[in-house]
Amino acid sequence: MADDKLVHVVDDDADVRASLSFLLGGAGYEVQSYPSGEVFVAALPELAPGCLLLDMRMPGLDGFGVLEALSEQKADIPAVVLTGHGDIPQAVRAMKAGAVDFLEKPYERAALLKVVERACALRKPQVQTDHDDGPARQIAALSVRERQVLQGLVAGLPNKSIAYDLKISPRTVEIHRAHMMEKLGVRALADALRIAFAAGLPPLGDGDPG
């Protein structure tokens, strides 16, 4: 089985593990599942590369502990975290800890397969320059309000909180957010956050340019 078709699943819920194995197996992926963070980390040195679907809320070693272990062992296993619906702060924290993407529960099959395909593809060699100013140029192309909305998302704030901080309506935040995503050329929030992190954009209220 090719590395880009191997998915490790870490979740303490047996039903979730079975469901993910069924959905991914039907799409041609090989799935290896683990009932806890401890079991996965113990097996990590011997695991074949692939990508990882990681539940964040588990007893014992939670998702953040697993992300820390991946970083410490320099494991080439891109991690997608599974978060509760609307739990943006946790998703932001996870991406800062090294996750490459997040998927909100409950998720649809199409969304699951898309995020897994994208994560597995990150293992393929990529040409990078030592001084890649692409993210900074993308951020610079945003308007002040669009940049502030992105800073709010970097801080893990929902639209209503961003609206309150900027003294504008939630609907106006939604409009600026849509324009921001379009200018960055992304459709998923995780991709916008990744650009923001790469550019070193501070969270709203911390070095706010506006």
| pLDDT recorded at residue 183 | 94
Asked if 36 and 114 sit in the same domain, the reply is yes
Q: Clarify whether residues 102 and 156 are in a common domain.
A: no
Residues of the chain with pLDDT under 70: 1-3, 123-132, 206-210
Q: How far apart are CA 145 and CA 180, in angstroms?
A: 9
| pLDDT value of position 210 | 45
User: Quick check: is 129 in a domain?
Assistant: no
Q: Which pLDDT score is estimated for 106?
A: 85
Judge whether 99 lies within some domain.
Answer: yes
User: Are residues 102 and 45 part of one domain?
Assistant: yes
CB 85 within 8 A of CB 105: yes
- Provide the CATH number for the domain around residue 145: 1.10.10.10
Question: Are residue 139 and residue 89 in the same domain, yes or no?
Answer: no
Classify residue 128: in a domain, yes or no.
Answer: no
What pLDDT, in 10s, does the model give residues 2-15?
Answer: 567 899 999 999 99
Asked whether residue 173 falls in the same domain as residue 99, the answer is: no
**Residue 169 forms part of a structural domain:** yes
Q: Residue 38 is part of a domain; what is its CATH number?
A: 3.40.50.2300
**Together in a domain, 66 and 23:** yes
The answer as to whether 77 is a domain residue is yes
Of 71, 97, 121, the residue at which a domain comes to its end is: 121
Same domain, 75 and 162: no
* pLDDT of res. 83: 87
Residue 79's closest CA among 108, 116, 113?
116
Q: Provide long-range contacts, Cβ within 8 A and 24+ apart, for 161-167.
A: 162/204, 165/204, 165/205, 166/204
Question: Are 183 and 140 within one domain?
Answer: yes
What is the tally of structural domains in the chain?
Answer: 2
- Whole domain around residue 147: which residue ranges? 134-199
* Residue 195 and residue 101 in one domain: no
In a domain, 79, yes or no: yes
pLDDT of residue 189: 87
pTM reported for the whole predicted model: 0.78
Q: Could you tell me if 82 and 177 lie in one domain?
A: no
Tell me, yes or no, whether 22 lies in a domain: yes
